[in-house]
Amino acid sequence: MIQLYYKGATADVVGAHGLSEADFNQVGQKVAHAHQAVCDQIAAGKLGYADLPNRKTYRDRVGQLVAKYKAKTTDLVVLGIGGSALGNIALQTALKPVTYNLIDDAQRGGPRLFVLDNVDPCLVSDTLDLLGSRLGSTVFNVISKSGETAETASQFMIVREMLRAKLGKDFARHIVATTDEKKGTLHDIAKADGYDTMPVPEDVGGRFSVLSPVGLFSAAMCGIDTDKLLAGAAAMLKQLEPHDWRKNPGTMLAAITWLMFNKGKPIQVMMPYSNRLYGLADWYRQLWAESLGKAKDRAGKDAFVGPTPIKALGTTDQHSQAQLYREGPNDKLVIFLEAATHPRELTVPDVFGDVAGLSYLRGTKLSALLQAEKVATEYALAVSQRPTVTIRFDAIDEESVGAFIMYYEFVTSVAGELFNINAYDQPAVELGKQATFALIGRKGYEKMAADIQPFAKPDEKYVLR
């Protein structure tokens, strides 16, 4: 499914900027304890994401609604943000063609998929306009545990009223709500209006929820084999069970992450050499940033930890970022994603044999060129003493993608133990949400609205025209 190759992060390759046997030996006991702590939490049922591959009730509910809606749905629109959108996008871009929405309805194998993960008025308006006469065969999947997330709630309110105006009393048949099973604003509206519903797991945070109905419904509607996706995740979790941490790909990557952070490399660049894997880099950024970026440790002491995750795309960003990565501050760990095989292949034709600058490309497979570009970048970074690791996919398929998701969620848990922080909350996100409520005029936030006023109106002293 997937493999970790970490030689490029060692002192043998990048000298003092890499990790030595002494580094690994020094951290060994700490990593072993962190690994055991995570495994104990999983065994005790405290980490809900690890149990998602086994939750048959979720799979059954998703299957019921896919059977009900898929055949008569031409367009599926997901209303969500953050963990309620990035995973959906990652699955779709990894496992379906980039031209999926352009394929003829009869040939596509599922509805067109649109994920509205922002309140940009152009994004929302343009998408709704595009649906046009297909509105009667469109399903909107609104995903929100509470129903009060401002971005998703505003989209939902717009869509609900549009459906009511254009489709009348049948509007509710075009909304599926993924929300809390027992309570909450969206739960109550769904019950009153009569929407079909799916559960947002109570014990799984949004950024860990892609293997729940949050991500599985849109995937299954579009023809992704979700059973294989979950099987890949389950197989990976088995692989990550307790054994020698030096031979475990999860604990090794967590250890490298922690060591590099403490070695003056607080930035981690995920660089897939595949457009299909690029969405996974977006998903990873939220998982890593919200989970590990914390001001306080578990004892309440100042910590201010967290590797900064950024994304790049090979080969595209060899031409836009590699200059910085090789000659700028040596403060980064580059994490390559590569695939042993790709879903499609093309070969450069045997032409221009008499053109010295092009003849070497004749008969080259694009996958071979892409891999050569990756190895060349890895080599160039090593020459500049810039550490790298590689996560290799045997293939870009459901099993490998499911394995990658479970792999990185587990690595995040182990890294949280190493940093001694709570990897499952996101307290710094709340102030921004509350400030949005205040600025838009929600009751109960009047004092905050007054406090924000110096920020809401530009100070002319600092405006240049």
DSSP string, 59-116: HHHHHHHHHHHGGG-SEEEEE--GGGTHHHHHHHHHHS-TTGGGS-HHHHSS-EEEEE
- Domain boundary (147, 180, 200) is at 200
Can the peptide bond before residue 178 be classed as cis, meaning omega within 30 degrees of 0?
no
Are both 290 and 345 inside the same structural domain?
yes
pLDDT mean over 262-280 = 98
Share of the chain above pLDDT 70, in %: 100
CB 332 within 8 Å of CB 8: no
Question: What's the pLDDT tens digit per position in 222-232?
Answer: 999 999 999 99
CATH of the domain at 271: 3.40.50.10490
Residue 454 lies in a domain: no
- Domain boundary (380, 399, 419) is at 419
* DSSP 8-state code for residue 407: H
Known catalytic residue at 443: no
Are both 153 and 293 inside the same structural domain?
no
Separation CA 222–CA 105 (nearest Å): 12
Confidence (pLDDT) at 79: 98
Are both 263 and 304 inside the same structural domain?
yes
Known catalytic residue at 409: no
Are both 34 and 86 inside the same structural domain?
no
Residue 415 lies in a domain: yes
Are both 33 and 63 inside the same structural domain?
no
Known catalytic residue at 21: no
Nearest CA among 223, 258, 222, 277 for reference residue 404: 277
Are both 415 and 286 inside the same structural domain?
yes
Residue 225 lies in a domain: no
- In the structure encoding, which two tokens stand for residue 371, read together? 């891999």
pLDDT band at residue 458 using 50, 70 and 90 as cut-offs = confident
Question: What's the pLDDT tens digit per position in 39-68?
Answer: 999 999 999 999 999 999 999 999 999 999
Are both 75 and 25 inside the same structural domain?
no
Which of these is catalytic: 319, 443, 447, 457? 319
Phi, psi of 312 (to 5 degrees): -145, 160
pLDDT at 243 over 90: no
Specify the number of domains making up the chain: 2
Are both 278 and 166 inside the same structural domain?
no
Are both 20 and 82 inside the same structural domain?
no
332-339 and 388-393 beta bridge pairing: parallel
Q: What's the mean pLDDT when you consider all of the chain?
A: 96
Residue 17 lies in a domain: yes
Which range among 28-32, 119-123, 347-351, 439-443 shows the weakest confidence by mean pLDDT?
439-443
Are both 252 and 295 inside the same structural domain?
yes
Q: Which residues contact 368 (CB under 8 A, 6 or more apart)?
A: none
Separation CA 153–CA 124 (nearest Å): 13
- Domain boundary (383, 404, 419) is at 419
Residue 223 lies in a domain: no
Residue 89 lies in a domain: yes
pLDDT at 406 over 80: yes
Q: What residue has token string 């799916």?
A: 198
Alpha-carbon Rg for the chain in angstroms = 24
CB 383 within 8 Å of CB 258: no
Question: What's the pLDDT tens digit per position in 165-194?
Answer: 999 989 999 999 999 999 999 999 999 999
Question: What's the pLDDT tens digit per position in 289-316?
Answer: 999 999 999 999 999 999 999 999 999 9
SS3 146: coil
Phi, psi of 205 (to 5 degrees): -70, 160
Are both 182 and 287 inside the same structural domain?
no
Question: What's the pLDDT tens digit per position in 330-362?
Answer: 999 999 999 999 999 999 999 999 999 999 999
pLDDT band at residue 15 using 50, 70 and 90 as cut-offs = very high
Separation CA 279–CA 229 (nearest Å): 16
pLDDT at 431 over 90: no
pLDDT mean over 6-25 = 98
CB 66 within 8 Å of CB 198: no
Residue 447 lies in a domain: no
Which of these is catalytic: 181, 243, 433, 446? 433
Are both 7 and 63 inside the same structural domain?
no
Which range of residues forms the domain containing residue 253? 2-41+230-419
pTM above 0.75, yes or no: yes
Which of these is catalytic: 17, 96, 151, 290? 290
Residue 292 lies in a domain: yes
